[in-house]
Each structure stands twice: as C-alpha cells, then as structure tokens.
Amino acid sequence: MSTPFYVSPQQAMADRAEYARKGIARGRSLVVLQYADGIVFVGENPSRALHKFSEIYDRIGFAAAGKYNEYENLRIGGVRYADLRGYTYDRDDVTARGLANVYAQTLGTIFSSAAEKPYEVELVVAEVGETPEGDQIYRLPHDGSIVDEHGSVAVGGNAEQISNYLDQRHQDGMTLAEALKLAVQALSRDTNGSEREIPAERLEVAVLDRTRPQKRKFKRISGRQLGRLLEADGASTASEAEADAEAEASDGE
Amino acid sequence: MDFLSDHQPELLPGNKKLPPVQGAIEAPHGTTIVAVTFPGGVVLAGDRRATMGNVIAQRDIEKVFPADEYSAVGIAGTAGLAVEMVKLFQLELEHFEKVEGAQLSLEGKANRLSTMIRSNLAMAMQGLAVVPLFAGYDVDREKGRIFSYDVTGGRSEEQNFAATGSGSIFARGAMKKLFRDDLSESEATTLVVQALYDAADDDSATGGPDVARRIYPIVTVITEDGFRRLSENESSDIARSILERRLEQPDGPRAALL
C-alpha cells in the first residue's frame, strides 16, 4: 500500500481557498448599492435566462458571482428556507440575517469538508428596511464567513478594484439613476485601468424598492425603463424616478 | 409542497391525525361565495358570516383571498382548514414563481388547488369539508375564468358565473336572472352584491350587509392590471344603493317574463 503524501492542514486550506478564488475570478463582477429608496443590484450578464439576481422573500434579494449551477442550488435552498420560515411562523420572521447565517453554515461546511470540492461562489444577501438605516447587506465569501457591508459592495472577478472605486464615490441618499450610473462606471473599468462600454442590453438590473406598495419589494428593471434611467442626467433624475415609480404603481405588477 | 411533505409533513393540512369523534365536529363554517366574469376580467365576492351550528360564530370573517397577482380564492366550508389551505396555496404559487422565474398558468393553479382539496378528503368525510371557488385572469387567453370544485377535488370550469356554499343555490338563481354578456366592471360588482343579498335573504347561514356595524361583503376584481380588493367605502356604496332600492322592492330587480 502506498503512503499518501503528507499535506499540512494550512496548506490544504490555502489550496482550497485558492481554487475557489480562481473560480470566482473567472466570472463577471457585480455590484450592490444602497440608494435613497432602496438597494440596487447591477451586473453585466449577457444571458437573459440565467439570472445573477433574484428574489428570496418580501424584502430580501440575492446576488451571486461564480459558478451558475452552484449558486442556483444555494438560491433555491434560500427560497425554500425563507418560504418555510414564513409559512411556519410569519412573513415578518424571515430576515436577511437568518438567511445569511444559513448560507454561511452551508458554505463553511462544504469548504472544510474533504469529501467535496469548495463552492466557487460569492454571495450577497440584501434586505431593504423601512428607512435607509434599516437596510442590511451581507457579503458571503466562498469559505463561509459573513461580512456586514454598508453603502456599496462588489463581488466577482475584479471585485477589489471596483469596490475601491465605489467606496470613494458612493454617497448616502443617491437617486436610483445616480446609483445606477455609478455602478455601470465601476463595472466598465477593466483590470488594467482602461474603460469599455457596456451596452444596456448586457446589463442585468434589479431593485429592492421600499416605496413599492406591494409586500414583495423586488423588481427587475429592463428595457425602456432601464434605458431611461441610464440616459437621465442629474437635473431631471428625481422627477424621472418619480414618474417611474408612478408608472410602476399603476402597472400593479 | 413536495419539500414540505419530505421534511415537515405535519405542516401539511391533509396529514393531521384525527382524534376519533362521535357525531359531527362543531367548528365555524363559512358560507356563500359568488363569482361572475365580465369582458376584461372576473369578480369574486363573499359574505362575512361564519356559523357554528345555529350560532353566528363570527360576523366579519374574510373568506376571499388573493392567491397571487392574477387569481383569488373564495372559501366555503370549515373556516380553519380552509384558511390554512389558502395559505399553503398562496405559498406554493409564490414559491413556484420564485424558483422557476415564471408564473404558473391559470390552469396549472386550478389543478394544484384540486389536488389540495383531494388531500383533505379524509377530513371531509368527517364533516370538515372545504369547497373553494377559484377565479383568475388568464393572461394567455386574456379573459377572466372561474373554476369550481367538489369535496373530492373534482374541478370544473364555470361559464359566466358560479357560486359555492350553503347560500349558493339562491345566489345562483339571482345571478342567472341578472347576468348579461356585456357587463361593465362596476355592473359586475353590483351583480355579485345583489346575489349575496338574495342568498342572505333565504339562507340563515349567509350574512347580509350589516349597516349598523359597517360590515359589507368583500368584493375583489381581477383584471389585466392584477388583483384589486374594493375598499370598504366602495363596497359600502354598492351595498347601500342596493339596500335603498330594496326598501321599495324587497325582492330586488325584476327580470322580464319573456
């Protein structure tokens, strides 16, 4: 019988972390920003079928970078957890903190289990509050830790550079159009510092809007509405945003 | 629902062990639900009374619920079980929508409800039946549709109008005489309140509009724009105008003889 090579636990963990980080870095980055009326998710996504952002529950949204089949698994798990909680107790008893804890447990277990390969995913779980102070954003790296974020967060390949860029420019109380533009600027910067144009149809955008009259605050923004928001310049943004809100309210969607 | 039955089957309404019982169980029962289609949508309405034997258990119970954005359920039968069934039904529709990223078809929703009623058959045999009425706007066919059920989960699509519950025979008679193909939304809402008034007139378990306590029927409208429940003011306006006419003509509007 051959003797296996000895690998120190430190080395084994470092290798696994390296593997996961490389996998995540291959995917495109995405950003999650707070704005005056909620939280906006922006990412570059050429596919219309495979979403990076989705609704988990009334006030909770989910964003993921990395391998699609792995985060889709986690997303469905999250929806099940949230729906079961809400059905057993009450809709108000489903919180982003609880959900983030479940994700952290799952990711942590998979990361340190020798039987499985680590998941190559990085998640963001966000909950919109009644006021901007009540907003919660949690970032969950591949190893099962939880980072409580404020204002803006970026995950995926180019995350560090993008989040530096966002940290310098993001302010509290931005309008949706301002936040969206900032996010697109941040995403269009390449690793080598040069900029490229991301056309609107390659963007995936979703919001958790606290002003929505419905219980479920998650909404995707696409097509004409997205084009309008991207074109709006500083002066007219406020009124445009209001017009959008009204149009949406009458949508009843 | 599959997930629930694997992991926490005791949460499902059909899976509860029943104690052996002698005689009928006394539990609050809901009574009359009516629905009518009009060009562009469907109206679903219910009275507010729950009875337990000959006692009025509750005067202001709510028996019409949104199932999702484009459909609603009205419940007749054992109130506790029915409310729980609706809760699970709402959850299933929402869960499907979130996991799949698309809504179930109206037909799919109606079938799902049918299975849920079927799973309650054992309790129905002991007198705890739940018989809902399901109405929704079919976004593919662009019209309102109504589905009625029996205790075994048998599903049938109804044309134009339908009623369920103890007062349904009287309500159906009223609707048969009042229905027309070209009803507007406001005429359709008036029609359902008329039908509920007639049901309450002849069925002791159905409650009429209670002006003194300001308890009026729940009226909901589902159109292309989604589900909408009429505000208390709107439904009180309808009920009061009907009441006023009935002070002169207690049996309501007269249909032509020929």
Q: Which residues of B touch A76 (CB under 8 A)?
A: 99
Instruction: Say if B1 is an interface residue toward chain A (CB within 8 Å).
Output: no
Instruction: Say if B12 is an interface residue toward chain A (CB within 8 Å).
Output: no
Cα separations (Å) of B23 from B20, B54, B127? 10, 16, 9
Task: Nearest by CB to B226, from A55, A76, A253: name it.
Answer: A253
Phi, psi angle pair for B233, to nearest 5°:
-65, -45
Helix (H) or strand (E) holding A57: strand A53-57
Q: Which residues of A touch B95 (CB under 8 A)?
A: 79-80, 83
- Burial label for B26, CB within 10 Å (0-12, 13-18, 19+), is exposed
Which residues touch B196 (CB under 8 Å, ≥6 apart)? B32, B34, B45, B46, B47, B167, B171, B206, B208, B217
User: A220 CA to chain B: closest CA distance, Å?
Assistant: 11
Residues of chain A with pLDDT under 70: 1, 193, 233-253
- Nearest by Cα to A173 from A27, A18, A37, A12: A37
Q: Read off the DSSP letter of residue B140.
A: T
Phi, psi angle pair for B164, to nearest 5°:
-140, 160
User: B8 CA to chain A: closest CA distance, Å?
Assistant: 9
The answer to whether the CB atoms of B11 and A51 lie below 8 A apart is: no
Q: Enumerate the H helices of chain B as residue ranges.
A: 2-7, 79-100, 106-118, 121-125, 168-178, 185-202, 232-248
Q: Which residues of A touch B101 (CB under 8 A)?
A: 51, 54
Task: Show which residues of B are catalytic.
Answer: 31
pLDDT of residue A195: 79
Write down the domain spans for chain B.
27-248
Provide the b/e sequence for A205-244 (b: ≥16 CB within 10 Å).
bbbbbbebeeebbbbbbeeebbebbeebeeeebeebbeeb
Class of domain A26-251 (CATH, top level): alpha beta
pLDDT by 10s per residue, chain B, length 258: 778 888 887 777 777 776 666 666 667 777 899 999 999 999 999 999 999 888 899 999 999 999 999 999 999 988 889 999 999 999 999 999 999 988 999 999 999 999 999 998 888 888 888 999 999 999 999 999 999 999 999 999 999 999 999 999 999 999 999 999 999 999 999 999 999 999 999 999 999 999 999 999 999 999 999 999 999 999 999 999 999 999 999 999 998 888
Q: Which residues of B touch A80 (CB under 8 A)?
A: 3, 95
Residue A231 corresponds to which tokens in the numbers above? 């074109």
**Strands in A130-234 per DSSP E:** 136-140, 147-149, 152-155, 203-209, 218-221
Instruction: Say if B56 is an interface residue toward chain A (CB within 8 Å).
Output: no
Residue B255 corresponds to which tokens in the numbers above? 């249909």
The answer to whether the CB atoms of A80 and B95 lie below 8 A apart is: yes
| Rounded distance between C-alpha atoms, residue B116 and residue B110, angstroms | 10
* Closest A-chain CA to B68: A253
pLDDT of residue B24: 60
- Say if CB B207 and CB B216 are below 8 A apart: no
Q: Enumerate the H helices of A113-208 as residue ranges.
A: 159-169, 176-187
Instruction: Say if B11 is an interface residue toward chain A (CB within 8 Å).
Output: yes
The answer to whether the CB atoms of A87 and B87 lie below 8 A apart is: yes
pLDDT of residue B128: 85
Task: List residues of A whose CB lies inside 8 A of any B CB.
Answer: 51, 54-56, 76, 79-80, 83-84, 86-88, 250-253
| Rounded distance between C-alpha atoms, residue A222 and residue A226, angstroms | 5
Class of domain B27-248 (CATH, top level): alpha beta
* Closest A-chain CA to B85: A87
> Which residue do the tokens 């000959």 mark?
B54
Asked whether the CA dihedral A83, A84, A87, A89 is positive or negative, the reply is negative
Q: Which residues of A touch B102 (CB under 8 A)?
A: none
The answer to whether the CB atoms of A54 and B101 lie below 8 A apart is: yes
pLDDT in tens, A129-164: 999 999 999 999 999 999 999 999 999 888 888 999
The answer to whether the CB atoms of A87 and B98 lie below 8 A apart is: no
- Nearest by Cα to A61 from A213, A226, A204, A244: A204
pLDDT in tens, B205-222: 999 999 999 999 999 999
pLDDT of residue B20: 65
| Distance from chain centroid for Cα B226 | 17
* Closest A-chain CA to B69: A253
pLDDT of residue A251: 46
Q: Enumerate the H helices of A58-151 as residue ranges.
A: 68-88, 96-112
**Which three-class secondary structure string do you get for B153-215?**
CCEEEECCEEEECCCHHHHHHHHHHHCCCCCCHHHHHHHHHHHHHHHHHHCCCCCCCECCCCE
Asked whether the CA dihedral B185, B191, B196, B197 is positive or negative, the reply is positive
pLDDT of residue A1: 62
ipTM of the complex: 0.82
Q: Which residues, numbered 76 to 105 in chain B, qualify as contacts with chain A under a Cβ-Cβ cut-off of 8 Å?
A: 87-88, 91, 94-95, 98-99, 101
